[in-house]
């Protein structure tokens, strides 16, 4: 059974940092590119960042460039998102999602971890 389990969310003050993790199981992790997709309370989905199968290529939405860093450890079947200089508008449920190499859709999703940025 495919599982993506996010962790690391919590409440943080504006300007603070958090590191999200996503543990993958049930599929060959390094056959998949991975992304973080967020959903603010009551709002729609927003792609935040993605990384290719070996970590050699990454991408970010403009609003997080320079503040967030995506990485992966294939030996540990894990995906990470280092979030610095957090803002209130970063408050959201953060999902990790996987797309097979050569595919451009998210076939696997986790259940999300909630990040709240508030003073």
Partner 1 sequence: QSALTQPASVSGSPGQSITISCTGTSSDVGSHNLVSWYQQHPGEAPKLIIYEGSKRPSGVSNRFSGSKSGNTASLTISGLQAEDEADYYCCSYAGNSWVFGGGTKLTVL
**Residues at the interface with partner 1 (CB under 8 A):** 35, 37, 44-47, 50, 57, 59-62, 95, 103-107, 109-112
Minimal distance, residue 36 CB to partner 1, in Å: 11
In this structure, are residues 53 and 32 in contact, taking their beta carbons and an 8 Å threshold?
Answer: yes
Nearer to partner 1, 14 or 87 (CB): 87
Q: Is 119 exposed, middle or buried (0-12, 13-18, 19+ CB in 10 A)?
A: exposed
Nearer to partner 1, 83 or 97 (CB): 97
The secondary structure of residue 52, as a DSSP letter, is -
Minimal distance, residue 29 CB to partner 1, in Å: 18
CA distances (Å), origin 18, targets 10, 76, 81, 89, 96: 8, 20, 8, 15, 15
Minimal distance, residue 58 CB to partner 1, in Å: 8
Nearer to partner 1, 16 or 27 (CB): 27
């Amino acid at each position: 059974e495919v599982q993506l389990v996010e962790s690391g969310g919590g409440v943080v003050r504006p300007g603070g940092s958090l590191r999200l993790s996503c543990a993958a199981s049930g599929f060959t992790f390094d056959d998949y590119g991975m992304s973080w997709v967020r959903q603010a309370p009551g709002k729609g989905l927003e792609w935040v960042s993605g990384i290719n199968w070996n970590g050699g290529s990454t991408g970010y939405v403009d609003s997080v460039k320079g503040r967030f860093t995506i990485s992966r450890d294939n030996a540990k079947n894990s995906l990470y998102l280092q979030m610095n200089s957090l803002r209130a508008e970063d408050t959201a449920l953060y999902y990790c999602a996987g797309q097979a190499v050569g595919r451009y859709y998210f076939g696997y999703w986790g259940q999300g971890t909630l990040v709240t940025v508030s003073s």
